[in-house]
Amino acid sequence: MERLERGYRLKSELLLTQPRDELFSFFADAANLESITPKYLSFRVLTDRPIRMTEGALINYRLRLHHIPLRWRTEIAVWEPPVRFVDRQLAGPYRWWIHEHRFEETENGTRVIDTVDYHTWLAPIVHPIFVRRDLRRIFDYRTKALQALFGESELA
Q: How many whole angstroms separate alpha carbon 104 and alpha carbon 19?
A: 10
Q: How many whole angstroms separate alpha carbon 6 and alpha carbon 150?
A: 36
Quick check: 66 pLDDT over 60? yes
Give me the residues paired with residue 109 across strands: 106
The domain made up of 2-154 is a member of CATH 3.30.530.20: yes
- Whole-prediction pTM: 0.90
Q: How many CB atoms lie within 10 A of CB 11?
A: 13
* pLDDT, averaged across the chain: 91
Output the CA–CA distances (angstroms, integers) from residue 134 to 2, 35, 86, 140, 151, in the order listed: 15, 18, 21, 10, 25
Quick check: 47 pLDDT over 60? yes
Give the rounded percent of residues in the chain with a pLDDT score beyond 70.
90
Quick check: 116 pLDDT over 90? yes
